Structure 1
Amino acid sequence: MPTPQFFLGRQPIVGRQRELVAYELLFRTSQDNNAEVQDDVAASAAVMQHAFSGLGLHAVLEDKLGFINLSEPLLRSDVIEILPRERVVLEILETVPLTPAVIERCRALRAAGYRLALDDVIRFDEAQKAILPLIEVVKLDVLAMQSRETEALVRHLKPFGVQLLAEKVDSTLQRDFCHELGCDLFQGYYFARPTILSGKPVQPSAMLLLKLLNQVATDAETEELEDTLKHAPDLTVHLLRLVNSVAFGLPRKISGVRTALTLLGRAQLHRWVQIMVFAQQSATHTAADPLVQTAALRGHLMERLCQTLQPGDEAMADRAFMTGMLSLLDALFGKPIAEILQPLNLEEKVQEALLHRSGWLGQLLRLVEGMELADHDVTATLLAGFPQLQWDQLNRLQIEAMSWAARLGREESGVASSREPA
């Protein structure tokens, strides 16, 4: 059968200090009608093979684990053996009955070196008790339980030595409650859909970065930029590290801010400032923070989509990057985005896209946001607005953007070392 159209959703899984630990990978295929079991397995196999072999596992996960959902037919099939056991956690969906045959299959997978997880657990029964010795991670559906039920479930599960992952965490209250219970991992809209975050204290350097961003956007004199950076020594250190990095191939080290600004150039400075706004204001001050990665991914994906749709128009590509990168400012600062944008004096096209999701850039932003939901129908509807863009191109650019965003976390300074070529 032909390889089904698909795209890849990726939701962060974080640890107790909000450090990025893994991703849940969400595959979606286009199914026009009900498929037979064999077709479902074959389609899943093709999607997995395409993603892991064709597009590249390293680009998708970098050095993190990937949680993969398994239905019962897929769990029973040999298809999952194409997955690299050292890089994935096989997540048994809540719809899979924990029969003796399923438990025996899980025992064989565990013996083969695969890690197993239980999804959407809301109770503790005999079937689960029988499979727990084979399970490494138990995902607790905190939205489906009262607080006392979650607490009791954690108490039952702790003696089995499994890692407890609180999923569907969508508020600070839920996160704090599960943290106090001793959950090891966390997943949910609170982390991956950052618009839910509110009331974050604003870091002083982040405010200076917004000022710097406005200065760069309005083509301020180098003296003004230098003066702003003098009020933020930590940012100056990041800037010097960036310019002195091997990626720029400079024959000598740079110690002066003015020289660094000149060598970096306005385009690169603009890119660095946008990324640093997020890295500086994020809770962990690192580009490995899920919020930083989501913003960076949006920016780079929008830039690459623009370069594909409007080749040669680098000015529009820069606008696209800024639109994607700044589309999470409300989450970052816990304020209405209109209030944050007011002093930035952005171009009208970018402003309208950010405030109203209108215009060509706004349409492109809605497409990227739709892909984050890993909903094929939503993405297909939005993709229809770009008839010159094919699914395969969209998939390839999405994986490339994921890889680019993941690499940010490896930089000591928390910024990208250089702008990637198209």
Structure 2
Amino acid sequence: MSDQIFVGRQPILDRQRSTFGYELLYRGGPNGGHSFDDPDDATQSVIQRALLDWGMERLIGDRFGFINASPRLVESGIYRALPPEGIIFELREDEPLTDSTVEALFNAKREGYHFAIDNLNPHAELETSSLLPLASVVKVEVSDELDALPAIVENVREINAGILIVAEKVETMNQYAAALDAGFDLFEGFYFARPELLSRGARPLSSISSLSLLAEMQRQDIEIDKVEELVGTDPSLAYRLLGVVNSSAFGLDRRVESLRHAIVLLGVAQVRRLATVLALSAAGDVSEELIVLGATRARLAGELAPRSDLAGPAFTVGLLSVTDSIYQTPMLELLEELPVSDTIQDALLGGDSELGQILTIVKACESADVEALAHLAPGQLADLSSAYANAVEWADGLRQQMTMRKSSLTLAGSSTLSAAMSNV
């Protein structure tokens, strides 16, 4: 199995003690470690794991997800990689806000995003708060001063009547009862549940491919064909993008017939936003040999499709056929995370459909199994040999490009990321 990744999840309950949402927390290991050097890195890690590794529907279902954010991340616009529905970004009241931060918050609110104020100081002059009028949710720590809670609720609602008020760090029955009586809307704390530690196998991503995609996506005139070309050269990149399409958070609840179909559903603008998250998440490289093998299979499978309407699905089957080796995970388990059509699933699981037969022929070409090819495609050995040679040549060209990108992107990677963060 591949390395494990982790995320923490703590429930937030409503007045009926039903789950309103979950706070998603950075966790660095199996012991629940949550220390980090840079809080922005921790937030980016949570976004990446929620969006790319788990999928929002697995983490929060139809509830709200609360994710910590800093003013710098809000200004960067990286939050746009996530859809506004179901996500609430938490900012601390004591974070210094510039005019540009407040403007970014106004713009995000107009776009439908929601913000929460974390750790509100109830003794501060609330009328001077820049955040409180913009926030949809505010969190107030419940202390031993329980008699002060009704006044806190009243003061907050005088400034923002429609805001939801969360009693956080509720640890005793007395604190819960007092917050309930005071009119708090939501509740979070150890009295209800400690953060749950979730883990799963990591899905590594090639940093070279992701940075290449990120660099190209900065072009405002980029078209679907170019996006398909970039994603279609790396099985790990294609797998990640298809996994996003499967996320209910994007409202794309349908099966896709090809990689191109998935890109069209997302749209260039959303792929551009996701490219930043993909590049940030690419901590370890995928085997270059497996990338080249997947590209070879994809190219050959697309060429062998007997009809034009099968070329895209066949290419996708070839590309994804190596993902079980990349992720050291059974193909059946991987397909549970992808929205691909039944015909693509059948082919990848060894079925005998048209796509399945194409993949079988591709693998026979790969292993130079002349006997199998004579049975699978009688009289076509010469044509198959030529098509396979062309696919290998094309994939070798990709290998050379990867080598060149590796040296250039290693030098330019940080500046590419910085430019992307400012253009999201």
- Shorter-chain TM band: 0.3 to 0.5
Give the TM-score of the pair, scaled to structure 2.
0.41
Structure 1 or 2, whichever has the larger Rg, is 2
